[in-house]
Chains A and B, each alone.
Chain A
Amino acid sequence: MEAPNNQAGPADNPTISSPEGSAPSPVAAALQREHPECVTEIIEALGETTIIVPRELIVTACAFLKTAPGLEFNFLADLCGFDRGPEEEPRFEVNYHLFSTTRHHRVRLKVVLAEDDIYVPTVSTVWRTADWHERETFDLFGVIFDGHPDLRRILLPDDWQGHALRKDFPLRGYEPYSLE
């Protein structure tokens, strides 16, 4: 993992810069200042900030971003999974799209997960809206959210085999689904 460059930043923002060399957003800078261990990488692209967070620190990062004055990410807009493909390592991602109803800014947090260790702590303790989003991600990708109050399938039937949005799941399924 690339460490943030501590020397080459512009004079008004001397401490950090994103891997591409441009100045990181104030949100990423604040998180890095208060919780440097929570930031693995900062990506600035297409006007959006992505912060890659180590899996075990996702709740710490979210709780900090939610309450820190000036950041106030009190609204979890979206949470979704992504499968990079069976040959990739690490294979899975979980994306958290945060929004602030007072500051009106947005940030994306990202956790990467290996296929054989597909666990991530739940953030439904930080925002209750994460409940259904996490159930959906569990249903379609098989990501297990540790500590989730009610982790079961939400869109597909309870006895469904496999996780439909994984890249190795065929578009039309393995066999026609039947209730018998």
Chain B
Amino acid sequence: MSATLNIPPQFEIVDRPLDTQMTISMGPQHPSTHGVLRLELVLDGEMVVKSTPDIGYLHTGMEKLFEYRKYQQGIVITDRMDYLNPLGNNLAYVMAVEKLLQLEIPERAQTIRVLMCELQRIASHLVWLGTHALDIGAMTVFFYCFREREKILNLIEAASGGRLTPSYFRIGGLMMDLPAGFERRVKQFQDDFLHALGEFHKLVTGNRIFQKRTQGVGYISAEDAIDWGLSGPCLRGSGVELDIRRMNPYTGYENYDFEIVTETDGDVWARYLVRMREMQESHRIVEQALSRLAPGPVKADAPKVVLPDREAMKTHMDALIHHFLIVAEGFDVPAGEVYHPIEASKGELGVYIRSTGGPKPARVHFRGPSFVNLSALPHMSRGAMVADIVAIIGSLDIVLGEIDR
């Protein structure tokens, strides 16, 4: 290493053998940092005096890339941000573009969006539960969670063709309608899932070791949680009743009956309970969405924006022209700026799009919930034990793909 490499003062490892304080680096390959998070921990014995997250190992310049791609090409980039909740990312992005275009989305497409997003939320929470329990030492839960998640991924694959990168929601509607027999398969999953959720509760909730490891750990008060910008289950675990699906409803969530789950303790255990009960609420929303699925179009009536059906493209001249123009040149989006927030599985996912006209955005910014939730980690982990850090990171449910973008 060259001598000119400038190490910033906060990363300088100070070696003072007579001091009781020690600085250690946790990550970026530590298995319980959920990806490539590095923490600079200053320890006094086993107590954390200071923790400094170091992020950016997965930075791939996605926000820059958006500016060089057409609007419809941006959808596939969003899949790769929060890779545990790609449909949520798709939704936030396409809804922001639709707001700029002022498109009306058909009823059936909106219901399917709710259905798929809630399934995705359950899948995302299942990964959280599996890895969180694994971090704390309960290995079995992981396999049970991934078994259930696999069923959801199969459903998503059946609808979109992709398991982890569906790109199912398109500007103006959906890629295509649900395949035949999809509703029956969702019903089958729905029937099994409550039993599986009961199994998770049996495995984890009543587990004394798990309770001891999580209760009273990583406390954050409601005021601090708001001040630090926490959102989603992390905020609701501190007793703040806030859910964007209810407060700023989108894609028809105002018509669904669900409870905003809150817990008042503000610790890892509270956030655990919130997510567990949220899965049950998502299950209820899926149930309602299924009962509302009525036949109808899944694409908006906007021939200059939405790709025509294959059949129409092969038989109608104007459909062929629109298809060619959308693919080759894209579509113009009027100048303006929007910020569209949705309730993703991890919290408020906001998309800021700035258009100056033309087929490419001037700026796309993602307010990732993981990014903001992680910024509160130093506050929550002060005075905790080293082993508790693992529990706290698990309870924040971070995805580095979204933090680093």
Contact = CB atoms under 8 A, between A and B. Distances in A.
A and B from one complex: yes
A108 B336 CA distance: 13
B247 A152 contact: no
Nearest to A126: B227
B372 interface: yes
* Chain A: number of interface residues, binned into ranges: 35 or more
Contact of B352 (A45, A76, A80, A101): A80
Contacts, number: 103
A132 B99 contact: no
A33 interface: no
A77 B56 CA distance: 21
B402 interface: no
A76 B229 contact: yes
B339 A48 contact: yes
B317 interface: no
B352 A171 contact: no
A106 B375 contact: no
Contacts of A164: 61, 64
B20 interface: no
Do most interface residues of chain B lie in helix, strand or loop, or is the interface mixed? Answer: mixed
Interface string B83-112: 000000000000000011010000000000
Interface stretch (A4-12, A17-25, A34-42, A154-162): A154-162
A162 B128 CA distance: 37
B97 to A, nearest CB: 12
A50 interface: yes
Contacts of B247: 104
Contacts of A140: 63
A101 B354 CA distance: 25
User: Closest 4 CB pairs between A and B?
Assistant: A129-B229, A78-B367, A132-B375, A155-B56
Interface of B: 2, 5-6, 8, 10, 55-56, 59, 61, 63-65, 68, 99-100, 102, 226-229, 240, 242, 247-248, 336-339, 341, 348, 350, 352, 354, 362-363, 365, 367, 371-372, 375-376, 379, 404-405
Given A47-B99, A77-B341, A164-B61, 6 more contacts: A45-B336, A97-B352, A129-B229, A156-B56, A159-B6, A171-B61
